[in-house]
Amino acid sequence: MISIDFQSKNTSQQFSLPGSKYIANRLVVLAALTNGESNFSNVPDNDDIRTAIAGLTQLGAKFEFSDNQLRCQGFGEELNAPTEVVYTSHSGTFSRFVVAVAALFGDWIHLNGSAKMNSRPMADILDALSQSGVVIEASEGGRLPLKIKGPIQTDSISISGAISSQYISALLLIAGRCRQGLKVQLTTEPVSKPYIAMTLELLNIFGVEVQVAKDYRCFEVSAGQAYTPQTMQVPADPSSASYFLAYAAITASHICLSNFQPELSVQGEAGFAKVLAQMGCKIWQDELGYHCQGPEELVGITVDMGDMPDVAQTLCVVAAFAKGKTHIHNIENLAFKESNRIEDTATELRKTGLEVTTSADSMTIEPQVMHAACFDTYDDHRMAMSLSLLACRIKGVTMCDPEVVSKSFPTYWEYLRKLGFITDKIGKE
């Protein structure tokens, strides 16, 4: 448990951000699928990326990772299944991606995750792969741990897009390695379309062409396409940026993110600053970087967060200090993240005296006079990072298990200390 206090150092701060874990997660898979060497810089060093590197190494790729520089030698043409269990830890993204990668292999591959990961849904992608000729022996409810034996036998797969866009991204990432090509047909409207767009953009960079229907319900990859090794820099992470933009909004201060270029990102969370602008923040960009100036008074809004689900919790915290209610909707899939990010976030915010109402796909935050609270993090990195910002305006905030930030942003608490936060008793007691 830690205590979190805030003593502002000054009203203006500037720094750079780690690379996007969403892009990095896709890059390591794509690089592994090549027959050559790829090199990436500004790769975030977090638990999820380390887990992906370890798992793909077991499957035959070779990695060198140091000082945010990553070198990867791909599988090549010959795929050899490992005899040991591939461990996916807490990573939902890698768990979904590696199931698809494993479906390329012709021998049994055993996959297992943490207890928390093993409780999360996987049935949609497992059912889709099973229908394509992949043999899968999964735990009850279509969950990890499981055994899987490929390869994919058909040239078409149907899958729901209602729960997670990661299922669609997983299939698209490996489609170019399918012997007969692959058509991915969605039986529902997909959630989180920007993440699919990100996958498509990266596939294009690696030389894999995808035919995309206008309604984003059908994707077709022809056979015989080679994945071309790449050298590139991972752009700054929009979800990580959200916490510092929110800090400026809450404290009526100025922040400059020197390496953040949201206009170049297809990730939905890159639009978070525009949401803050609706609440009264001033946003601009110049040669120094991307700027946010918080207003004297924030105003509540109604906003669709369907395209930027991973910053919905950040917005909830900003909304706590606004004048008037904030209604956040189209967030149904938040219930299937590392925690139930609708109900669990509401529970934690209510501890401070806030009035929070929820439905299956929405949250409404009505500001009240707030008081100190001890927050649980639910083994959810975004819960910890979002709730920490309440300490900007509330004295006496404490938090259990702050170490969960290591999943995506291990240096998060160091960044907060640069802003004037004081944290004591970091680490498990």
Distances (CA, A) of 197 to 22, 81, 93, 234, 262: 12, 30, 16, 16, 15
HEC assignment per residue over the chain: CEEEEECCCCCEEEECCCECHHHHHHHHHHHHCCCCEEEEECCCCCHHHHHHHHHHHHCCCEEEEECCEEEEECCCCCCCCCCCCEECCCCHHHHHHHHHHHCCCCCCEEEECCCCHHHCCCHHHHHHHHHCCCEEEEECCCEEEEEEECCCCCCEEEECCCCCHHHHHHHHHHHCCCCCCEEEEECCCCCCHHHHHHHHHHHHHCCCCCEECCCCCEEEECCCCCCCCCEEECCECHHHHHHHHHHHHHHCCEEEECCCCHHHCCCHHHHHHHHHHHCCCEEEEECCEEEEECCCCEECCEEECCCCHHHHHHHHHHHCCEECCEEEECCHHHHHCCCCCCHHHHHHHHCCCCEEEEECCEEEEECCCCCCCEECCCCCHHHHHHHHHHHHCCCCEEECCHHHHHHCCCCHHHHHHHHCEEEECCCCC
At 429 the pLDDT is 45
Catalytic, out of 237, 310, 376, 379:
310
Token pair in block for residue 134: 């992949």
User: Residue with structure tokens 């027959």?
Assistant: 35
Tell me which residue of 39, 6, 58 sits closest to 422, measured CA to CA.
6
What would the two tokens of residue 237 be? 């992470």
- pLDDT confidence of residue 425: 80
Which residue is listed with tokens 């928390």? 116
Query: Which among 3, 42, 5 has a CA at the least distance from the CA of 23?
Result: 42
Rounded alpha-carbon distances, angstroms, from residue 132 to 99, 152, 155:
13, 6, 8
Distances 304 to 47, 283, 322, 328 between C-alpha atoms, Å: 30, 20, 17, 6
Q: Which of 221, 134, 127, 225 is nearest to 175 (CA)?
A: 221
d(CA 5, CA 116): 30
Which regions of the chain are under pLDDT 50?
428-429
Q: What is the pTM of this model?
A: 0.93
Q: Which residues contact 257 (CB under 8 A, 6 or more apart)?
A: 14, 15, 16, 17, 236, 241, 244, 245, 289, 290, 291
Map out the domains of the chain with their CATH numbers.
2-18+236-424 (3.65.10.10), 21-233 (3.65.10.10)
111 within 8 A of 99, measured Cβ to Cβ: yes
Tokens of 28: 């390591």
Q: Is 310 a catalytic residue?
A: yes
